[in-house]
Chains A and B, each alone.
Chain A
Amino acid sequence: MSKPLVSIQNLTAGYNGTPVLKNVNLDIHPKDFLGVIGPNGGGKTTLSKVLLGILNPFSGQVSFPSGRPNIGYLPQVSQIDHSFPVTVKEVILSGMARPKTWWKPLKKEHKEKADYLINKTGLSGLGNRPVGQLSGGQFQRALLARAIINEPQLLVLDEPDTFVDRSFEGELYTLLEELNKTMAIFLISHDIGTISSLVKTIACVNGTLHYHPSNVLTADVLKVYNCPIDLIAHGPVPHRVLKDHE
């Protein structure tokens, strides 16, 4: 087994002194595709923020055995101002900033990368369009391009299935499978159907974290992990459903 990209040990984290997550342990390896499920308020987003380095934990350790990886981030689309005066290309290029070079001007190859991703995410011709003129789904695709333009080693996605156009959904999942060949993926989702058909392993987060080393879930497993989420799948047809259980 290769060294983990990220190793979380005994993590306790939360906001304003109140812990949301307690004693979380998790290793993320280079080609992992981890589905993160759990009820609202259970700590999924909190965990992602600690991973991204934008929330300091109360206690515990987050270590990077092979050095701090480049982490890409697709936040919940509803949290971002869709009407902000910025173009698609500018949004995507904002993903190029890095800790030591954030103040440096962009180069031609960065802009070419953005053009490539504009086409790859089905946004051809919309590069100079202000994001306010895009649909919710198109806006999300621009944010996804922003998340991957810097070729991260770990991609964190917070509920990407919420906004995605039904027409693009299949393509999104294909894109994620392709990206998984070169990066680990941490995908928070409410959609159990997405989880079971896409991911390789599952983590149930509800105050603490239970790791399930496969993508097959049964009602019993969810009960044991205290993961009160619906087992009703929804999504485009055809799509894989949960394994039958007695």
Chain B
Amino acid sequence: MTMQNIISLFEYQFFQNALMAAILTSALAALVGTYIVSRKVVFISGGITHASFGGIGMAYFFGLNPFLGAVVFAIGASLGIEWISTKGKMREDSAIAILWSLGMALGIIFVFLTPGYTPNLMSFLFGSILSVGKADIVVLAVVLVVTSLFFIIFYRPVVDTAFDPEFARTRGIPVTFIRNSMAILVAVAIVLSIRVMGIILVLSIFTIPQNTALLFYGKFSGIIKGSVLFGISGSILGLIAASAFDIPGSAAIIFMLTLQFLISKGVALIQKR
């Protein structure tokens, strides 16, 4: 594919939409992903992601918007895990694994029970960034604005609560409110990102750019900035590669994000010497 062809891609509506979706999703994942990675709760996010498939299946069965089902299940799983971790009545990692599997199982059962052909099942699993429409972009933009506002207003309490929730509690910070709010924002961000990346691969945009940023930045706000940068660049490069070589967008994006990480790791190692 020539440079000419690559530039001409940008003229197509589908590519512009995909680009917009990738940029918005990267920004959203930068905020939420920094929180997930810093708190070392990536496994929890995996549980939420797969649990949401239960909602997708049930929504299909009842003729509702599958993303609505996904959001309800994701928020339920996220708040449920938050509750389990504070009450400590069961092994947290086992609880996550159970929710993870149960969600997937419910999704599979309901999809199976739904009469007729279930459209877009593959797109839920692997993403469908190249078929993103205006409505998806508007929803992404609104959620990004809401999430950004929450981070701007409550930045220090969010970081303080993530770093040392027990101490934050002694200082009178409403830790439960902050953690539950973040649990909801994480769930919503994950479900929206499923559009771009698919359930199987969505965790990548919440972890790879953040770990790349960690090579260069030591503080929370720096990692957010770095994640936005690396997330957007990886997504754009991935989209170009996907269009050029006719390969799935999500996989191409992950490949580029990982390449970025490896190059950055190399640069960081050289800088140390």
Instruction: Give the shortest distance, in Å, between A37 (CB) and chain B (any CB).
Output: 22
Residues from chain A with a CB closer than 8 A to the CB of B171 are: 94-95, 97-99, 102
Q: Is the interface of A mostly helix, strand, loop or mixed?
A: loop
Known: A54-B170, A94-B167. A84 touches B153 (CB 8 A): no
Q: Is the CB of B163 within 8 A of A102?
A: no
Known: A81-B163, A84-B162, A86-B163. A73 touches B156 (CB 8 A): no
A243 interfacial contact with B, CB 8 Å: no
Q: Is the interface of B mostly helix, strand, loop or mixed?
A: helix
Complex CA–CA separation, A100 to B172 (angstroms): 8
Q: Is the CB of A75 within 8 A of B166?
A: yes
Complex CA–CA separation, A98 to B160 (angstroms): 13
Instruction: Give the shortest distance, in Å, between B247 (CB) and chain A (any CB).
Output: 34
Q: Is the CB of A85 within 8 A of B160?
A: no
Q: Is the CB of B167 within 8 A of A103?
A: no
A133 interfacial contact with B, CB 8 Å: yes
Report the nearest B residue to A53, measured CB to CB. Answer: B170
Q: Is the CB of A85 within 8 A of B220?
A: yes
Query: Interface readout for A72-95 with B: 1 if CB under 8 Å, 0 if not?
Result: 010100011100111100110111
Residues from chain A with a CB closer than 8 A to the CB of B168 are: 94, 97
Q: Is the CB of A102 within 8 A of B173?
A: yes
Complex CA–CA separation, A85 to B220 (angstroms): 5
Residues from chain B with a CB closer than 8 A to the CB of A103 are: 153-154, 157
Q: Is the CB of B38 within 8 A of A73?
A: no
Residues from chain A with a CB closer than 8 A to the CB of B136 are: none
Q: Is the CB of A75 within 8 A of B167?
A: yes
Chain B residues numbered 38-57 whose CB sits less than 8 Å from any CB in chain A: 38, 40
Residues from chain B with a CB closer than 8 A to the CB of A80 are: 163-164
Known: A103-B153, A130-B219. A97 touches B172 (CB 8 A): yes
A16 interfacial contact with B, CB 8 Å: yes
Query: Interface readout for B58-95 with A: 1 if CB under 8 Å, 0 if not?
Result: 00000000000000000000000000000011000000
Complex CA–CA separation, A52 to B165 (angstroms): 13
| Interface size range of chain A in the complex | 20 to 34
Report the nearest A residue to B157, measured CB to CB. Answer: A102
Q: Is the CB of B173 within 8 A of A97?
A: yes
Give the tally of cross-chain contacts (CB within 8 A). Answer: 78
Complex CA–CA separation, A99 to B173 (angstroms): 6
Known: A80-B163, A86-B159. A54 touches B169 (CB 8 A): yes
Report the nearest B residue to A89, measured CB to CB. Answer: B219
Q: Is the CB of A71 within 8 A of B157?
A: no
Q: Is the CB of A99 within 8 A of B172?
A: yes
Residues from chain B with a CB closer than 8 A to the CB of A54 are: 166, 169-170
Residues from chain A with a CB closer than 8 A to the CB of B40 are: 81
Report the nearest B residue to A150, measured CB to CB. Answer: B171
Report the nearest B residue to A93, measured CB to CB. Answer: B156
Instruction: Give the shortest distance, in Å, between B217 (CB) and chain A (any CB).
Output: 7
Complex CA–CA separation, A244 to B169 (angstroms): 44
Instruction: Give the shortest distance, in Å, between B113 (CB) and chain A (any CB).
Output: 40
Residues from chain B with a CB closer than 8 A to the CB of A90 are: 159, 219-220
With A85-B219, A103-B157 already in contact, 19 other A-B pairs whose C-beta atoms are closer than 8 Å:
A16-B89, A53-B170, A54-B170, A81-B40, A85-B34, A86-B220, A90-B220, A94-B160, A94-B164, A97-B156, A97-B160, A97-B171, A98-B171, A100-B172, A102-B171, A102-B173, A103-B153, A106-B156, A130-B219
Pairs A–B under 8 Å by Cβ, sample size 10: A16-B89, A54-B170, A79-B166, A80-B163, A81-B40, A84-B162, A94-B156, A94-B168, A94-B171, A97-B156
**Chain B interface residues toward A at CB < 8 A:** 34, 38, 40, 88-89, 153-154, 156-157, 159-160, 162-164, 166-174, 214, 217-220, 222-223
Instruction: Return the 8 tightest CB-CB contacts between A and B, nearest first.
Output: A99-B172, A130-B218, A97-B171, A94-B160, A102-B173, A52-B170, A54-B169, A84-B163
**Chain A interface residues toward B at CB < 8 A:** 16, 52-54, 71, 73, 75, 79-81, 84-87, 90-91, 93-95, 97-100, 102-103, 106, 129-130, 132-133, 146
